C-alpha cells in the first residue's frame, strides 16, 4: 500500500541532544512537508521540499534542519537549538509542488526529558 511512514512513533530525547525523525513515502510525490502540532494550535510548517536537493524554511524553522537526498525520504533533525521541542511532528506529501499537504504520516511524538 502506498503511503507515508514516519518513525519512530514515540521518541524521547535528553536536553542538549540532536534527534532525527524519519519520513519515507512510496507515493512518488514530488513535494514533502514537515509540520509541528501543539495542543490547541493549528499545524505549523517547519520545512518543505518541492524537489530533490531543494528545500525551503517554513514559519518555524529555527532549531530544525532537513535534507532531501532522495525523492522518497525527507528526514527532520531537531537540534539542541530548538527551545521547546516537545511536540507531535507530522510529515506530509503532495503529488506536485504548490499543492499543499494531501497525505500525512501517522506522526512522531517527541518528548524532551
Partner 1 sequence: QQQVKQSPQSLIVQKGGISIINCAYENTAFDYFPWYQQFPGKGPALLIAIRPDVSEKKEGRFTISFNKSAKQFSLHIMDSQPGDSATYFCAASIEGTYKYIFGTGTRLKVLA
By the criterion CB under 8 A, which residues form the site for partner 1? 4, 6, 31, 33, 40-45, 48, 50, 56, 90-92, 97-107
In terms of CB distance, is 62 or 100 closer to partner 1?
100
Classify residue 41 by its DSSP letter: S
In terms of CB distance, is 81 or 95 closer to partner 1?
95
Closest to 78 in 3D by CA, of 106, 104, 105, 108 = 108
For the CB of residue 56, give the shortest distance to partner 1 in the complex, in Å. Answer: 8
For the CB of residue 13, give the shortest distance to partner 1 in the complex, in Å. Answer: 19
In three-state form (DSSP H/G/I as H, E/B as E, the rest C), the secondary structure along 45-106 is EEEEEEECCEEEECCCCCCEEECCCECCECCEEECCCCCCCCEEEEEEEECCCCCCCCEECC
Identify the residue whose cell numbers are 528545500.
55
In terms of CB distance, is 57 or 70 closer to partner 1?
57
The 10 Å Cβ neighbour count of residue 64 is 21
For the CB of residue 83, give the shortest distance to partner 1 in the complex, in Å. Answer: 22
In terms of CB distance, is 80 or 86 closer to partner 1?
86
For the CB of residue 104, give the shortest distance to partner 1 in the complex, in Å. Answer: 3
Amino acid at each position: 500500500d502506498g503511503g507515508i511512514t514516519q518513525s519512530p512513533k514515540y521518541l524521547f530525547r535528553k536536553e542538549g541532544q540532536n534527534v532525527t525523525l524519519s519520513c519515507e513515502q512510496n507515493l512518488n510525490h514530488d513535494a514533502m512537508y514537515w509540520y509541528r502540532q501543539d495542543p490547541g494550535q493549528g499545524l505549523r510548517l517547519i520545512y518543505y521540499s518541492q524537489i530533490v536537493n531543494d528545500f525551503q524554511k517554513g514559519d518555524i524553522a529555527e532549531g530544525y534542519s532537513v535534507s532531501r537526498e532522495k525523492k522518497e525520504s525527507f528526514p527532520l533533525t531537531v537540534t539542541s537549538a530548538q527551545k521547546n521541542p516537545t511536540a507531535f511532528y507530522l510529515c506530509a506529501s503532495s503529488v506536485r509542488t504548490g499543492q499543499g499537504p494531501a497525505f500525512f504520516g501517522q506522526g512522531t511524538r517527541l518528548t524532551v526529558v
